[in-house]
Amino acid sequence: MALLASGALPQNPPHTLPSLQRWLAHMSSFSPSETKDFPPHSLSCKMAEELSQLVHKSIKMTPESLKPDKPSQGSKGGEHSKGKSGKFTLKTPKGTRDYGPTEMAVRRQVFDIIYSVFHMHGAVEIETPVFELKEVLTGKYGEDSKLIYDLEDQGGEILSMRYDLTVPFARYVAMNKITNIKRYHVARVYRRDNPAMTRGRYREFYQCDFDIAGQYDAMIPDAECVQLVHQVLSKLNLGDFTIKINHRKILDGVFGSCGVPAEKFRPICSAVDKLDKSPWEEVRKEMVEEKGLNESVADLIGDYVKFSGREELIDRLKSDERLENSADAQAGLNDLSLLFQYCKSLGCDDHVVFDMGLARGLDYYTGVIYEAVLMAGQNRGEEGSVGSVAGGGRYDGLVGMFDPKKKTVPCVGVSFGIERLFTIQEQKQRAENQKLRSTQTEVFVAAACKGMVHERLKLIQLLHEAGIKAESSYKNNPKLLNQLQYAEDSQIPLVVLIGESEVEAGVVKIREVTTREEATVKREELVATLKQRLAPK
Amino acid sequence: MALLASGALPQNPPHTLPSLQRWLAHMSSFSPSETKDFPPHSLSCKMAEELSQLVHKSIKMTPESLKPDKPSQGSKGGEHSKGKSGKFTLKTPKGTRDYGPTEMAVRRQVFDIIYSVFHMHGAVEIETPVFELKEVLTGKYGEDSKLIYDLEDQGGEILSMRYDLTVPFARYVAMNKITNIKRYHVARVYRRDNPAMTRGRYREFYQCDFDIAGQYDAMIPDAECVQLVHQVLSKLNLGDFTIKINHRKILDGVFGSCGVPAEKFRPICSAVDKLDKSPWEEVRKEMVEEKGLNESVADLIGDYVKFSGREELIDRLKSDERLENSADAQAGLNDLSLLFQYCKSLGCDDHVVFDMGLARGLDYYTGVIYEAVLMAGQNRGEEGSVGSVAGGGRYDGLVGMFDPKKKTVPCVGVSFGIERLFTIQEQKQRAENQKLRSTQTEVFVAAACKGMVHERLKLIQLLHEAGIKAESSYKNNPKLLNQLQYAEDSQIPLVVLIGESEVEAGVVKIREVTTREEATVKREELVATLKQRLAPK
């Protein structure tokens, strides 16, 4: 049934008015020039009156729900002050937002593509609670732990909101003593970070995670993760992308060979992680001044982290004089060689780059790490890379942190940052002037005269019974033009129209909304005719 | 790619072994009686050795991920004590649980049906944050407010977890100044209630809400909600159900006519709400002893709340000597008359019962209220009703509570309690011995001999490129029987099998997993052949 504002008349878009007049005139067998004063028409009720009102009246209608979604972004949108309301500020919590119908339609598109790729790989789905015992999250995120949302102690357990889906997954695997699983999990996570919502950075945001847990042969699951990222980004069709890869053992090998003491590997790794946002000079400064690294050691590292390439770089580093004797570096380089080979067989090596400046923030990675960045879209007026849209890597020790016997399960996985993808998809559709529907309605049941409400409801029942998505107005006697306008605005392809004469004759009129062609069919042929017209061509 | 345990051999179900032997023998052109000692076979590698191992060896394999999901229900499942672990209890928070692959597959089925009905009615989707400013929830839930989860004050806003989806919806409508919308929202809500998880009662649980906001003609949106409940429960096919309806104005009219003072309407209504769990004597006691009602007034109410019927009851009450002069009661009764008429036209009146004992807990209802209960399924060994699976009603004042000018938007809606539906669906499938797949994989790519990993990956790439859901093993040289067993256990319909001779000849073998029939096809015809076999018949 319809969302027509009470007694309102169509306003937007006004350019449809002449065509509606033409159609009405046609139905009434009058030419457009005669529309000002109507004699009774073929449908036995007062369309003429309505149209006359429409032509002479100041017309206003745009149901709120049909307007583009208003941004309701935290403290920015829709707010009114405490003073005015006398009560409280009407807003969503800082760093969060509502998603309206159009935004949800875009998101569903992105989700459907990601789900289809997850299913392509035979992944199962799991779901974990939105909060965990606080101690489950403790000691997993390093410095970032300060960003965790805690729940109030209301008597009982001490809980925190999940910070990612990886730690709950590891908890799930350990708790259920699972030795192997390939699962996906799409859900929101929570970080008390400084939000930058215009850039798609929120405190509450979706992660779409795909992980493979189990003791398998080297690099086969890791290559599958690269392939999956390649497939998702190709199918989303958001322009060129690069999948950067590196290996924690190579980084550790470089650090060791350059003279970094072992206890400083992770802090120095954190510094390298900032290379995607800061120039080397700043990163070097952090290494030397904050983390107490010898200047010459920092400079040696600086030479390595600038490297980026493919197999030739791997080969060169294998015989690099400093790395030649590092077991860690050699193990990591061998892994990457193998990874490139598998990616070739999987047809996903073309966007892959070995980038020694890639470090990833989280402490729990132990092997291959990767990150996908979208290159700027010219149609989006951006320059360079628009930032990371997926990231992940191998974390062989995390499950063991939850096992009393420290028995671990090797894991590798990837996480898509859906908010960025979704912002970019929205920009793309805006640029291409696509108007996305937020409903799936196929048929609007309209009445051309009063007293038809039960007849309309019976038709709705008939269509629903046949699996046809159908709506009608919630008014007893809705104005015909409002009904047609609603169908047009909502991009509903077909209108089924009845008047007294149609009911008497046991027929209905079917109207194609875009072409405005109509045909009269017998009621008993209605369902079959509609199904035929709605079938994909 | 596959979830095969490292180097393990198939154990469960052992009854498949003879058939595997037959098939292997067939491929090797030997009769079953000759399977003990194998000469080289048509695939140029060592299947014989494997099968011989299999026959003579104590065999063990059931990957954890293939076992039925273990219950991991809060403090019950998977727990190990602090003492043992030396660290902490491995569990989910009280009243919450993980959902494993099989459970998620059942849930997806239930969700898909509910979503399809929501789309049938042309509803748009919205999403709101999981928490709200605490003051948004304050004063909306009466006594139940004590069950709200609060977040810790970490500096900044004071937040609470959402308690339902209705109050956030009203906040959304008011904040965005929406005058009409028909939306659905499927999400989890949070209540610090006493969990009873075996009966599907959790602290974190899904609600599937459908609501219509806007100023419309009486009872048309209300009837659509009844129709929607009827459609969802019919499509879920979980047995007989009843949709109880009542009207807050009828209850108020009864209370007023019987002599309840106006300020006691809501507390007395709360007492009536307990009638579905407690006998009248206890409810009467609460009215008299806790809520200070005169005994004779309580007895008068007792006469009314026992009534249940259909139109004849409505008509009788319209001329009831006590209710005749109650404007409230008459208005409510007229609404219900109209509702029954619309439900008839919508073909959904057959399960509807006017039940004067239905009161609904929440304070915000102002008009029609309804609740759907499933009747006991004989195959589930239950008696009577198995409880409420959906509920809702009209709440015309809630949006106004968020508007500074108190401008309100009338609303009516319904919420499905998915945890119960999902528990019942699981019981039904167990009773019918249905085995639900938790993956969608269509083809398993297997190798009959060593050194085939790159060939397998190339095939995976070829199939994925063609949109065929395909997996292979993560081992370099997986044992053939493990691969076939995995495909069978996972209910993957087809296996694509290669050996050295196939690769040389540019062909592959396609095996139907259930019938074990196979055929050799040219590699360039593989995709077309698979698509043909996978097409729905």
Give B113-151 as a DSSP string.
HHHHHHHHTT-EE-B--SEEEHHHHTTSSGGGGGGPPBB
CA distance A105 to A402: 39
What is the per-residue pLDDT for B377? 61
pLDDT in the model for residue B142: 76
Residues B348 and B339: beta-carbon distance below 8 Å: no
Gap from B16 CA to chain A (nearest CA, Å):
23
- How many Å apart are CA B128 and CA B402, to the nearest integer? 16
Among B325, B324, B343, which residue's Cα sits nearest to residue B335?
B343
CA angle (B358, B364, B365) in 5-degree steps = 40
B290: how many CB neighbours lie within 10 A of its CB? 10
Residue B514 has pLDDT above 60, yes or no: yes
Q: Token pair for residue A122?
A: 């035979």
pLDDT at B34 over 70: no
User: B128–A84: do the CB atoms touch at under 8 Å?
Assistant: no
Of A125, A126, A475, the CB nearest to B216: A475
- Chain A residues lying within 8 Å of B214, measured CB to CB: 3, 5-6, 474
Question: ipTM of the assembly?
Answer: 0.82
Residues B306, B308, B309: CA angle, nearest 5 degrees: 155
Contacts of A129 (CB under 8 A, 6+ apart): A162, A168, B92, B93, B96, B97, B98, B204
Q: Which of B60, B61, B65 to mutate to test the interface with A (most CBs of A within 10 A)?
A: B65
> Quick one: average pLDDT of A465-480?
96
Q: Say if residues B63 and A108 touch (Cβ distance below 8 Å).
A: no
- Nearest alpha carbon to residue A162 among A119, A182, A195, A191: A191
CA distance B467 to chain A (A): 8
DSSP secondary structure code for residue B152 in this structure: P
Angle made by CA atoms A357, A359, A360, in degrees to the nearest 5 = 140
pLDDT in tens, A117-138: 999 999 999 999 999 999 999 8
More confident site: A300 or A388: A300
Q: Does any CB of chain B come closer than 8 Å to the CB of residue A379?
A: no
Dist CA A216 CA A182 (whole Å): 12
Cis peptide before B13 (omega within 30 of 0): yes
Query: How far is residue A481's CA from residue A467's CA, in Å, rounded to a whole number?
Result: 27
Interface of B with A in 126-145 (CB under 8 A): 126-133, 135-136
Mean pLDDT of A426-442: 84
Are B125 and A108 inside 8 Å of each other by CB? yes
Q: How far apart are CA A211 and CA A213, in angstroms?
A: 6
CB-CB under 8 Å, B464 with A3: no
Does the distance separating the beta carbons of B188 and A130 come in below 8 Å?
Answer: yes
Chain A CB contacts of B205 under 8 Å are none
pLDDT score recorded for residue B51: 37
Q: What is the pLDDT of residue A46?
A: 42
Which pLDDT band holds residue A29 (cuts at 50, 70, 90)?
very low
B112 lies within 8 A of chain A by CB: no
Which residues 38-97 of chain A have a CB within 8 Å of chain B?
A: 63-65, 70, 72, 77-78, 80, 84-94, 96-97
Best CA proximity match to A247, nearest among A269, A224, A271: A269
Predicted TM-score of the model (pTM) = 0.82
For residue A435, what are the CA distances in angstroms to A11, A15, A67, A423? 19, 17, 12, 15
Q: Which residue has the higher pLDDT, B64 or B166?
A: B166
Our CA-based measurement puts residue A439 at a distance from the nearest CA of chain B, in whole angstroms, of 5
Residue B223 burial by Cβ neighbours in a 10 Å radius (0-12, 13-18, 19+): buried
How confident is the model over B41-45, as a mean pLDDT? 39
DSSP H or E segment with residue B231: helix B220-236
* Of A16-30, A304-318, B127-141, B461-475, minimum mean pLDDT range: A16-30
Contact in structure between B227 and B348 (CB atoms under 8 Å) = yes
Strand partners, A133: A159
Alpha carbon distances (Å) from B170 to A64, B141, B144, B411: 14, 14, 18, 9
The answer to whether the beta carbons of residues B9 and B62 sit under 8 Å apart is no
Q: How far is B514 from chain A (nearest CA, A)?
A: 19
Mean pLDDT of all residues belonging to chain B: 84
Structure tokens at B402: 């968020």
B469 and A223 in contact by Cβ < 8 A? no
Q: Residue A48: is its pLDDT beyond 80?
A: no
pLDDT for B266 equals: 87
Phi, psi of A319 (to 5 degrees): -110, 15
Q: Which residues from chain B sit within 8 angstroms of residue A2, using beta carbons?
A: 122
Range from A50-64, A152-166, A189-203 that averages highest in pLDDT? A152-166
Q: Does A224 touch chain B (CB under 8 A)?
A: yes
In tens, the pLDDT along B218-231 reads 999 999 999 999 99
Task: Please state, in angstroms and rounded to a whole number, the distance separating the CA atoms of residues A21 and B422.
Answer: 51
Q: Which is it for strands B204-213 and B411-417: parallel, antiparallel or unpaired?
A: antiparallel
Average pLDDT of chain A is: 84
pLDDT category of residue B294 using cuts at 50, 70 and 90 = very high
Mean pLDDT lowest among A99-113, A484-498, B368-382, B402-416 = B368-382
Q: Does A238 touch chain B (CB under 8 A)?
A: no
pLDDT, tens digit, for every residue of A389-413?
999 999 999 999 998 888 899 999 9
Residue to substitute from B216, B339, B503, B530, interface A, most A β-carbons within 10 A: B216
CA-nearest residue of chain A to B189?
A130
Are A464 and B404 an interchain contact pair (Cβ–Cβ within 8 Å)?
no
pLDDT at A375: 85
DSSP conformation class of B451: S
Q: Across the interface, do B101 and A89 touch by the CB < 8 Å criterion? A: no
Q: What is the pLDDT of residue A87?
A: 55
**Section B230-256 average pLDDT:** 95
Contact call for residues B526 and B496 (beta carbons, < 8 A): yes
Min mean pLDDT across A63-67, A112-116, A185-189 is at A63-67
Taking CB atoms and an 8 Å limit, are B474 and A212 in contact across chains?
Answer: yes
- Please name the helix (run of DSSP H) or strand (run of DSSP E) that holds residue A159, with its range, or none: strand A159-161
> Which of B105, B180, B474 has its CB closest to that of A64?
B180
State whether residue B182 is helix, strand or coil: strand
pLDDT confidence of residue A139: 85
Residue B60: CB atoms within 10 A of its CB come to 11
Question: Cα(first)–Cα(last) distance of chain B, in Å?
Answer: 27
pLDDT digits (tens, 9 = 90+) for B180-227: 999 999 999 999 988 777 667 799 999 999 999 999 999 999 999 999
By CB atoms closer than 10 A (0-12, 13-18, 19+), residue A68 is exposed
pLDDT tier, A425 (very low <50, low <70, confident <90, very high otherwise): confident
**pLDDT of B477-497, one tens digit each?**
999 999 999 999 999 999 999
pLDDT at res. B463: 97
